[in-house]
Amino acid sequence: MNEHTNQLINETSPYLLQHAHNPVDWYPWGPEALEKARTENKPILLSVGYSACHWCHVMAHESFEDPATADLMNKLFINIKVDREERPDIDKIYQTAHSLLTQRPGGWPLTVFMTPDDQVPFFAGTYFPNEPRHGMPSFIDLMQRIVDFLASRETEIRKQNASLVNALQSIAAPVEAPGTPGSQPLDTARQQLEKGFDEKHGGFGTAPKFPHPTNIERLLRHWAGTGGQDRRALHMAVFTLEQMARGGMYDQLGGGFCRYSVDDRWMIPHFEKMLYDNGALLALYAEAWAATGNPLFRRSCEQTAAWVMREMQAESGGYYSSLDADSEGEEGKFYVWTPETVKELLEEAEYALIARHFGLDRPANFEGHWHFHVYRTREQLAQEFSLDPATVDSRLASAIGKLFAARTQRVHPGRDDKVLTSWNGLMIRGMACAGRYLGETNWIDSAGRAVDFIREHLWQDGRLLATYKDGRAHLNAYLDDHVYLLDGLLELLQARWRDSDLLFAIELAEVVLEHFRDPAGGFFFTSDDHETLIQRPKPNHDDATPSGNGVAAKVLSRLGHLLGESPYLEAAEQTLKGLWTSIEQMPHGHASLLVALEESLSPVQTVIVRGSGAALDTWKHRLNSGYAPRRIAFAIPESEHVLPGVLAERKPQEEVLAYICSGLTCSAPVTDFAEFEKHLSTTEAPRTDE
């Protein structure tokens, strides 16, 4: 190792590799760094971030690339750099510790100072500037004060550390009496979401606005659960989805959603694009299209799926992690325009529409530039310009195609090209769900290739690994890796049955039960053979991604009904009982667990169709033609042979045979298509033009 590199040079994370040439003596989290801190009795400076994070780049440029700052860091601390995407276990623990220490929410970059012998934090913050501003000290001044404080107040700090560890442990595994699940939280969540609903712009709360797909899904499911009676729940979901799809948080030219909007109107995003957001939103928009037939939702799916396959999927099949907010050192530069540039690229009639559509006839909305946001809908343009809708669509498509082609010549934002198992699970589900509802087999094939990649590279010796890059897979997989992938497999099996996918799903479920289960109910985030940290989290609350416990309870219940396996059903039931107090306290924060609760109280309809050829395709098409959130349906060709229990039987004289089950009770085999349709209609929400 030469003087221009540090210990991060051998890592796989693009984020860590970005810091491998800093003058800071960075170490990755691991035994070497932790032992060095103990041996030298130097406090640990832990910095957590990720490659698409704008303020992480700012702090890196201001402080970590500065020789004077680096010299002080190296003199005073053992410096550890963590990619929160590869080590969500560490991020979860120290974000929680930050909240306890500061009584404020955390974020990235996360900056934590820890005692050397036990990795317990005694001071934490996020971004610190290189000079005093905004009421914050300079990073150099802060570091010196931290060391002085530790030297003069060690006894006091040790006492605080003990209290912090106790608090972390009580948060991770609170002592709760098991509850008896009931339906009340479903209604309470619906009411809570309405209280936070933004009537004017959609979404929940005020800026910064995040998409919260689990909450929107909750409203859609609630509407379906009322047989279409709760039109208000449907409106909140649909209006929010429309506003997001028309806003600047959505890439109007290339598809895909940015992480959040900095304003109430969804106009200006934080420009990074994350795989996990887009996986969840792709599935959600497909479900909303199935429920409403809204062409905006279909178009959002088509553009987003195209973006995923074009920019986020490796030739080998795995999905990449994210795109940076910045290009050429400026946030959003890749995405913004001037009216003059746009006018040069388009015909006069095209520009007239685009200018009204995207607001080029209005003042600049982003630092002297124009970021596209739909001000006038296609319907409004048709009326305003006295054009038929087909002409409007055609001219907009032509104009958008030209602008997109021109944009591809720009310097693209950086891409984090590691493959994370958990986020791949979310995108596998998104692509399979959208492909199933919209009849796009290439999206389903894309999801299948990602599954094959994970099975080949990240499933080793009967255990799952968390991350892959440049031929190297490593790190024990977490709960989310297992259950998101299992959820994706169940969705893919509904889109296209493969025996190997069912067998893989069963293997994953068995690992979850053996290595993650808490006897008191629910699942820990890390396995029982994971590295020992100061906390073993048991997450139940939805964050930017769904709660691992919520997804675990749902997929184990569904797999249990598909296979008739009571251990899976019991584990799902125990999860709800063990986490019931948390669910009752804040229902709308546990939307993923509420899906499992809903399906526990009213078991899913499980439909299995067996047959071949065009007849099977006809029945399969009918299965996917409506929004039925409490139905799982599988069309199994005769060429596949790994079949669920008694459902493997088939009378050879029948062209297609369907079994329809509610819970663990199945109907007699159905061979008449009209009768088949009648059964399906009992679980479908009414199609609406909301």
Per-residue pLDDT tens digits for 599-628: 999 989 999 999 988 999 999 999 998 999
pLDDT at 600: 96
Query: What's 193-328+416-601's CATH class?
Result: mainly alpha
Q: Which residues touch 300 (CB under 8 Å, ≥6 apart)?
A: 245, 250, 255, 285
- Does a cis peptide bond (omega within 30 degrees of 0) precede residue 109? yes
Per-residue pLDDT tens digits for 145-188: 999 999 999 999 999 999 999 999 888 877 667 788 999 999 99
Q: CA-to-CA distance for 386 and 389, rounded, in angstroms?
A: 9
pLDDT at 108: 95
pLDDT at 360 over 90: yes
pTM above 0.85, yes or no: yes
Nearest to 276 by CA among 635, 545, 44, 602: 545
Amino acid identity at 534: I
Give the mean model confidence (pLDDT) for residues 196-224. Answer: 97
Per-residue pLDDT tens digits for 387-416: 999 999 999 999 999 999 999 999 999 999
Burial of 40 (0-12, 13-18, 19+ CB in 10 A): exposed
pLDDT at 590: 98
pLDDT category at 2 given cuts 50, 70, 90 is: very low
Give the mean model confidence (pLDDT) for residues 363-368. Answer: 97
pLDDT at 1: 42
Dihedral sign (CA 648, 649, 654, 659): negative
Domain at 335-409, CATH from 3.30.70, 1.10.530, 1.10.10, 1.10.287: 1.10.10
pLDDT, the chain, mean: 94
| Angular region, 461: left φ>0, alpha ψ -120 to 50, beta rest | left
pLDDT at 685: 87
| DSSP-assigned beta bridge partners for residue 662 | 605, 665
Q: CA-to-CA distance for 281 and 305, rounded, in angstroms?
A: 11
Per-residue pLDDT tens digits for 215-233: 999 999 999 999 999 999 9
- DSSP for 576-600, written as a single string: HHHTHHHHHH-GGGGHHHHHHHHHH
pLDDT at 645: 62
199-203, 642-646, 671-675 — most confident range: 199-203
pLDDT at 560 over 50: yes
- DSSP for 250-274, written as a single string: B-TTT--B-SEESSTTS-SEE--EE
Tokens of 18: 């970005």
pLDDT at 548 over 70: yes
Topology at the third CATH level for domain 7-172: Glutaredoxin (3.40.30)
pLDDT category at 511 given cuts 50, 70, 90 is: very high
Tokens of 139: 């990073």
Q: CA-to-CA distance for 614 and 234, rounded, in angstroms?
A: 35
Give the mean model confidence (pLDDT) for residues 416-436. Answer: 98
Per-residue pLDDT tens digits for 457-497: 999 999 999 999 999 999 999 999 999 999 999 999 999 99
Least confident of 32-41, 232-241, 311-320, 665-674: 665-674
Nearest to 79 by CA among 139, 166, 158, 134: 139
pLDDT at 500: 95
Sorted by where each begins, the domain ranges of the chain are: 7-172, 193-328+416-601, 335-409, 605-681
Say what angle helices 421-438 and 295-311 make with each other, to 10 degrees: 140
